[in-house]
Amino acid sequence: MRLLTILLFAVCAHAAVVEGVILDDETGNPLARTNVTLTPLPGTLAQEVTVRTGARGAFVILSVRPGWYVLRATRRGYAPGEDGQSKPGRRGHAFEVADDRAGGFHEIHMAHLAAITGTVFDENGIGIPNWQVHLYTTKKPMRRVASAMTDDRGEFRLGELNTGTYEVRSGPGPLEDKTTVFATYSQAAVELKDALPVSVGIGETKKNVAIRPVKGKLLSLSGTLQAPGFPGRATLTLITDTGRRAVASGSGTVPFTATDIQPGPVELMVSGGDAIGTPCGSFTELKIDKDEFNRSYPCSFISPGGIQITSNQKAPIIVRRVDLDGESDLHAFGRDEMPVPGHWELTVPRGGYYVQDVRCYGRPCPQAGDWYAFESGSYRDVRIQLSTNYATISGIVKLKDSPVLGAPVFVTNIDTGQSWNVRADPQGHYTVIGLGPGKYTVMSSFDVDEINLSSKAITDVQLYPGQTATQDLELLRP
Amino acid sequence: MNAATVQGVIFDEETSNPIARSQVSLVPLPGTKTKSVTLLADDHGRYIFSSVPPGWYIVRVSRIGFETGEFGQLRPGLPGKPFEVKDDSDDDQLRQILMRRQAAISGSVVDDNNIGIPDWPVSIYTARPPIKRIAGAKTNDRGDFRVGELERGTYIVRAGGGELEDQSELVPAYYKYGTALSGAEPIFVRLGETAAFTVIHTVAGQLFDLGGLVVAPDNRPVTIALISDSGRRTISTKAGPFLVSGLAPGTWEIVAQGAGCGSDQMLLIDRNAFARVECNALSAPIVTGAGSLPVYARRADLDGPGDEFELRGQALTPGHWEFMARPSADQYLVSIRNQGDTTALPLAQDGWFPVEIGTAPHLQINLSNKPASISGNVTASSMPVTGAPVFLQLLNPVTPELALQSWEVRADAQGHYVFNSLPPGDYRLMSSYELDYDEPVAREKSATLRLTEGQSADQPLELLQP
């Protein structure tokens, strides 16, 4: 007991308090209920701590061990803010908490995420009310990331966007007189190549984006859903890049007609179960350029283990479904899971290994960043090869020959687009582990958004399996 | 060869742009022996009615988000002027109609630091009794909201209750401040206007949990709706326990619905509560006294009236309902109530009779063959006013400044008007092209009369001018 008291005393005597306030950058008003995370730099033996600001935006973190830390604030609708950032959305600077001293008062300004607002106009410049508007990333693979409905004046707002360039598009549909309009990109483009992309940055609202839907004939698709007999049932979902809708649901043979379909690619997904709950499903891709009749969509038996994802290391496998209308939520792939037929993607969280190879039925699965695409439906096995023989890169970040403590370091694989970002320790030393072989760019900066990524100051490094590379970096400044 | 054409263009008053695809109706005045015709304006806002028989007409335009417009109106929202179509009449006159946007209310829901709260529910209520929730919205990423398509009038705006990121709780709060309706500040909006900057300051408070037990025959799936005056939440469940948290203090209605079963109960929640929810077998309402007359029903839950539909032997979930029928000119609707109900008859608002129904309702429709009527001539400087608009209100006997029901007719070519199928009661009526019915001058100058059952009153009217 006495020992415990002494130990406790020792711990308390060496702990400090970190406190501060989180403010809205635009109004200067305090931001209540914001998450504030104190993260130790490499070499500081402490755990990451998260607290919430109180009603007046203030926070206090008690019992902070001496060392070097980064303070980060996160809140819905805002870009993350860091203490010492040159402006909201940028990387902050680390600070030292010394023995027996207050860790200082920290003020973090947070800026709203970006937003795009505009109007969907008819041919006379009158806003079309209650019309769907979709937002897509311009980067490949192009994905639908948000949707909104126009208000009574035909105006829309798409908020909570990251900095980037987007395509804005109105949905297809019938007007009051049953004439139809195509899904149309801003400002009046049916084809993506004619679209006018919109770029926004943190704290910005890009206003007055106009969309003038183009008139054209929408198509219909009819046929039957072959669902299991009662009490089994199934649902047929029509998926396009402007959303999804259930077009048939029930038991046995269910006729359906889906109208107002934009010419182009569509996906038809059946999912259901028979009388005893055995799952069934099917997935069909079509390119529609005329009205389609008498199509039949079965709910086929999905065999357990119909898809097997195996890995040579014990690591969780995270999967998501990818439809024409975007990505599903993530979940950990269960061993006995029977995924609905269709396009899926998987990733393995980073650990003491790297993903050496992912094979779909013997061939490499297509990779984009950390994600590998695979198909579920016909029998396929997916094999993941993880290797602990990873490469490591480390070095010192300097500014005019002086080490930069806590400098943010970014490592990117040029071929796969995978990226890592770490902080240097108080001596400016950084280390990134778990890298696969390949060509990488390495750089360090507090102001990444203003760095020219094709600049010669960004270093290329070729890594081989098991290699430990050393690469010192000069801190890049705008 | 005896028919003419009537044509024109529809414009937006604000931008002067033509409005495409509006619904345009050519409505004959009483005495012009033809039917009303409706068509859609074309892409350029043009309309053409061809083969129009001779007579007197008005042209009326309606479109979502705009106030109904009429040709010849002094300003949008007021009645238009009728015109005569003669044999082979000049078809080159373009009858332009300016449309004005309906009203809107916009604003934000903010926390103690004036930071907008995203995804927060907002409700709009009519400020004039009976207070009803007529629209809902959610705030956007900045905590801003907009509710459009409102009629000219006075409204109360309220933010809903809920839980914040740190699990602290907010109770429903009215614009500008406070949780009590008595402290709410009503907002008046005119057509074409947006009442902006309606900032609602939220109020911290405690929300409660409702635990319960669902009892349903054969354990069939049941949907439970928890309804308050600021919206509803729905859960799907089977027989057994359920738990819903985050309910604001106040009266809640619990409606259970399953295949062929249902129930309704009211619960005052001022602490964590428990409810036993039974899904009882339902039978379709027996309706007597209506003959072949269709009877219409709509639910009247705490969050506002539901959609209207015709009763055709479908079972109704117990609870608050409203019913109405539209009898012919030689009858009037006295009451719709549960058979055997001898309590005082509640007042029908806009012709809808409120009825509390159970699992096996028996509705008694009471029609009378002795309706009252009002007729007369509208004159201006002793000359008859062709097609004059005439407004009639049945006054609420308890609060005569409020109307129970309103009607509007047009006089015929000779300035003669008729209202049929009226119940006995106190009435107020007037005729004007320029005054809104609730303007003080109109109230002062309108005629009032009391009708007894079966009475035919003659009421000459002078066209009111401001």
The shortest C-alpha distance from B225 to chain A (Å) reads 24
pLDDT tens digits along A388-421: 899 999 999 999 999 999 999 999 999 998 999 9
Predicted complex ipTM: 0.88
Q: Which residue of B has its CA nearest to A176?
A: B21
In contact, B209 and B118? CB cutoff 8 Å:
no
The phi, psi pair for B356, rounded to 5°, reads -90, 120
Q: Strand runs (DSSP E) across B79-120, as ranges?
A: 83-85, 97-99, 103-110
| pLDDT at residue B440, as a whole number | 82
Chain B residues lying within 8 Å of A31, measured CB to CB: 113, 115
Q: In this complex, which of B20, B102, B104 lies closest to A122 when CB atoms are compared?
A: B20
User: Which pLDDT band, with edges at 50, 70 and 90, does A302 fall under?
Assistant: confident
Residues B140 and B68 in one domain: no
Half-sphere exposure of B338 (CA within 13 A, CB side): 17
In contact, B430 and B464? CB cutoff 8 Å:
yes
Query: What fold characterizes domain A2-110?
Result: Immunoglobulin-like (2.60.40)
Question: Alpha-carbon dihedral of residues A331, A333, A334, A337, nearest 10 degrees?
Answer: 100
Chain A residues lying within 8 Å of B65, measured CB to CB: 129, 152-153
CA A239 to chain centre: 21
Is A125 in contact with B168 (Cβ distance < 8 A)?
Answer: no
User: Which pLDDT band, with edges at 50, 70 and 90, does A340 fall under?
Assistant: confident
Q: In this complex, which of A24, A29, A125 lies closest to B17 when CB atoms are compared?
A: A125
Q: In this complex, which of A52, A159, A175 lies closest to B142 when CB atoms are compared?
A: A159
pLDDT tens digits along A186-232: 999 999 999 999 999 999 999 999 999 999 999 999 999 999 998 89
Is A124 in contact with B17 (Cβ distance < 8 A)?
Answer: yes
| Chain B contact for A125 (CB, 8 A cutoff) | yes
Residues B387 and B439 in one domain: yes
User: Which pLDDT band, with edges at 50, 70 and 90, does A380 fall under?
Assistant: low
User: Cβ atoms within 10 A of the Cβ of B152, count?
Assistant: 18
Chain A residues lying within 8 Å of B18, measured CB to CB: 124
Nearest to A177 by CA among B7, B60, B42: B42
Residues B216 and B277 in one domain: yes
Rounded CA gap, A335 and A315, in Å? 12
Residues B197 and B127 in one domain: yes
Residues 147-176 of A with CB under 8 A from B: 151-153, 157, 159-160, 175-176
| Chain A contact for B100 (CB, 8 A cutoff) | no
Q: Which residue of B has its CA nearest to A75?
A: B165
The shortest C-alpha distance from B11 to chain A (Å) reads 10
Rounded CA gap, A347 and A96, in Å? 36
Residues B276 and B338 in one domain: no
- Give the end of a domain, one of B204, B239, B259: B204
Rounded CA gap, B203 and B297, in Å? 37
- Options 2.60.120, 3.40.50, 2.60.40, 1.10.3470; CATH for A222-299 is 2.60.40
Residue B315's domain comprises: 286-368
Give the DSSP letter of residue A8: H
Residues B125 and B199 in one domain: yes
| Chain A contact for B19 (CB, 8 A cutoff) | yes
Q: What amino acid occupies position A50?
A: T
| pLDDT at residue B84, as a whole number | 92
Domain with CATH 2.60.40.10 in chain A: 2-110, 114-211
The shortest C-alpha distance from A75 to chain B (Å) reads 9
| pLDDT at residue A12, as a whole number | 47
Is A153 in contact with B101 (Cβ distance < 8 A)?
Answer: yes
Q: What amino acid occupies position A440?
A: Y
Number of domains in chain B: 5
Q: Does domain A114-211 have CATH number 3.40.50.10490?
A: no
A456 has a pLDDT exceeding 70: no
Residues B190 and B111 in one domain: yes
Residue linked to tokens 């996906």: A267
Is A113 in contact with B20 (Cβ distance < 8 A)?
Answer: no
pTM: 0.89
Cβ burial of A28 (10 Å; 0-12, 13-18, 19+) is exposed
| Chain A contact probe: residue of B113, B120, B150, B219 with most A CBs at under 10 A | B113
pLDDT tens digits along B323-356: 999 999 899 999 999 998 888 888 999 999 999 9
pLDDT tens digits along B203-258: 999 999 999 999 988 888 899 999 998 889 999 888 889 999 999 999 999 999 99
Residue B382 neighbours by CB under 8 Å, 6+ apart: none
- Give the end of a domain, one of B84, B99, B114: B99
Chain A residues lying within 8 Å of B110, measured CB to CB: none
**Domain with B413 in it: what CATH number?**
2.60.40.10
Nearest to A46 by CA among A62, A24, A57, A35: A62
The shortest C-alpha distance from A367 to chain B (Å) reads 33
Q: For the residues of B419-457, what is the DSSP string, one character each?
A: EEEEPSEEEEEEEBSS--TTSHHHHHHSEEEEE-TT-EE
Query: What fold characterizes domain A391-474?
Result: Immunoglobulin-like (2.60.40)
| Chain A contact probe: residue of B13, B67, B99, B142 with most A CBs at under 10 A | B142
| pLDDT at residue A5, as a whole number | 47
Rounded CA gap, B443 and B430, in Å? 9
Residue A314 neighbours by CB under 8 Å, 6+ apart: none
Mean pLDDT computed over A17-28: 94
Residues B221 and B308 in one domain: no
Residues B253 and B312 in one domain: no
- Give the end of a domain, one of B316, B349, B368: B368
Where chain B has pLDDT below 50, the residues are: 1
The phi, psi pair for B412, rounded to 5°, reads -85, -170
Residue B49 neighbours by CB under 8 Å, 6+ apart: B5, B6, B7, B26, B37, B39
| Chain A contact for B17 (CB, 8 A cutoff) | yes
